[in-house]
């Protein structure tokens, strides 16, 4: 049965949602958490230039599910823990309530009581992060990085074409867009140095990623299929897994990244639901080698999401430094999740899976400074004439993403952060 919420002809009584180029039309309806001065944070949905207050809607009896209220807390956790059928029911109800001509919100007073100008709102972390795992799912990124450090003949590790490589990160340092990111301290050791030294990271980097947010938990000891994994994903955010490349090079063998990745991971504040992205599913790349049965995926597992990264120096002009697309990921989010659960790892509602850096094949599509500057060997020239090998203090990095439909766009908003100087040592 066709999903009416995807109908490109559907229009909203909120006029800004119908404007050409609007990133939050009625076909999108992403979830977030917001507040205004003096108010408690609460769930809302972005529509045009506004936010529809879901807590107010629920209190008015216009949005109800069986059982306890789901929008009374300052996070979307309660909704995410509900069955997938409830996610779809809430989306369908919101699409109906916001459609042009809908009588339930025809009263002007009722409308005004539940609408907030998005420009006046502060956005918060939309959910409680239960765990964070970062993958390495872009073949182009893995090849670029491998070539830099091992040469083209050994660019990909032997296991890369068989397994979605990942590592467990830190849930405690996942922050919402707009949170400043402090340059980390760490151990640094050059190739010719006899011993490491302590100091601020000198090769601070961003990583352009897509984050998948798990809604449906899986029990310990129970693998899941890629089909079940796909239905367990509540939605997606843009994700910047900030990286300290010099600290990483010294620490990562033999157990992988640690301090170099634990200091900050930024996510966009609006969760674009998996349901909203269904029209933009596309086949992934054909596997170069046969995958084991548990990783095989029927149909279109990838998402056609255009991605951009901009860098703005303190007091300088903004430069778009990367344009890429998530459709080229070698391993989809469902494959990453199925692999994560294969050995019996219990997956929790609120788990966040990062895709790893999303790079394309062409110059300028590389999703990190490491690749864009060839590890600093080829400086990047910005719009104001300054150069960057890696990120400087005061630099603002912003990730944006969108899908293009028939006469509308599905936007993710912005995932941004500004680099602060390293903390003063306390020893």
- Catalytic positions, written as ranges: 141
Cα Rg of the chain (Å, integer): 22
Say if residues 303 and 236 touch (Cβ distance below 8 Å): yes
**Rounded to whole angstroms, how far apart are CA atoms 213 and 32?**
13
Which residues of 279-340 form beta strands (DSSP E)?
281-282, 302-303, 306-312, 319-325
Place of tokens 């200091």: 263
Say if residues 359 and 210 touch (Cβ distance below 8 Å): no
Place of tokens 């778009």: 320
Nearest 5°: the CA angle 382, 385, 390 is 45
**Rounded to whole angstroms, how far apart are CA atoms 326 and 421?**
32
Say if residues 311 and 318 touch (Cβ distance below 8 Å): yes
Kindly give, in sequence order, each residue whose CB lies less than 8 Å from that of residue 158, ignoring residues fewer than 6 positions away.
Answer: none
- Residue 406's H or E segment, with its range, is none
Kindly give, in sequence order, each residue whose CB lies less than 8 Å from that of residue 63, ignoring residues fewer than 6 positions away.
Answer: 54, 57, 71, 90, 93, 94, 97
**Rounded to whole angstroms, how far apart are CA atoms 40 and 34?**
8
Q: Hey, what's the torsion of the CAs at 317, 322, 326, 330, to 10 degrees? A: -150
Query: How many Cα neighbours within 13 Å face the side chain of 197?
Result: 9
Say if residues 359 and 330 touch (Cβ distance below 8 Å): no
Longest dimension (CA), the chain: 74
- Residue 179's H or E segment, with its range, is none
**DSSP 8-state symbol, 357:** -
- Residue 364's H or E segment, with its range, is none
By the 10 Å C-beta count (0-12 exposed, 13-18 middle, 19+ buried), 254 is classed as exposed
């Amino acid at each position: 049965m066709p999903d009416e919420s995807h109908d490109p002809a559907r229009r909203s009584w909120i006029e800004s949602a119908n404007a050409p180029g609007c990133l939050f039309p009625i076909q999108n309806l992403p979830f977030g958490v917001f507040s205004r001065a003096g108010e408690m944070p609460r769930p809302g949905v972005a529509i045009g230039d506004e936010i529809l207050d879901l807590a107010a809607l629920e209190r008015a009896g216009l949005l109800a599910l069986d059982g306890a209220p789901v929008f009374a807390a300052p996070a979307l956790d309660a909704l995410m823990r509900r069955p997938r059928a409830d996610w779809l029911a809430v989306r369908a109800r919101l699409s109906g309530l916001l459609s042009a001509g809908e009588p339930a919100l025809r009263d002007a007073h009722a409308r005004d009581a539940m609408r907030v100008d998005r420009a006046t709102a502060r956005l918060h972390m939309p959910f409680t992060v239960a765990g964070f795992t970062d993958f390495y799912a872009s073949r182009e990124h893995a090849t670029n990085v491998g070539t830099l450090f091992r040469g083209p003949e050994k660019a990909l590790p032997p296991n890369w074409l068989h397994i979605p490589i990942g590592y467990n990160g830190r849930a405690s340092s996942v922050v919402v867009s707009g949170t400043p990111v402090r340059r980390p301290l760490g151990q640094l050791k050059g190739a010719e140095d006899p011993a490491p030294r302590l100091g601020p990271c000198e090769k601070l980097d961003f990583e352009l990623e897509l984050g998948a947010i798990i809604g449906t938990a899986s029990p310990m000891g129970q693998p899941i299929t890629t089909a079940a994994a796909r239905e367990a994903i509540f939605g997606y955010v843009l994700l910047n897994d900030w990286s300290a490349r010099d600290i990483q090079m010294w620490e990562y063998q033999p157990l992988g990244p640690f301090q170099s990745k634990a200091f900050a991971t930024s996510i966009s504040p609006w969760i674009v639901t998996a349901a909203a992205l269904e029209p933009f599913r596309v086949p992934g790349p054909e596997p170069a080698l046969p995958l084991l049965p548990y990783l095989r995926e029927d149909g279109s597992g990838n998402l056609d999401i255009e991605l951009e990264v901009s860098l703005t120096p303190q007091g300088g002009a903004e430069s778009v430094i990367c344009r890429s697309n998530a459709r080229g990921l070698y391993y989809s989010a469902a494959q990453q999740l199925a692999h994560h659960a294969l050995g019996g790892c219990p997956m929790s509602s609120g788990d966040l899976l990062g895709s790893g850096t999303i790079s394309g094949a062409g110059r300028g599509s590389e999703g990190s400074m490491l690749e864009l500057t060839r590890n600093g060997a080829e400086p990047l020239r910005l719009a104001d004439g300054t150069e960057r090998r890696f990120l400087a203090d005061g630099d603002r990095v912003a990730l944006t993403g969108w899908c293009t439909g028939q006469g509308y766009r599905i936007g993710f908003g912005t995932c941004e952060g500004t680099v602060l100087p390293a903390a003063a040592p306390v020893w």
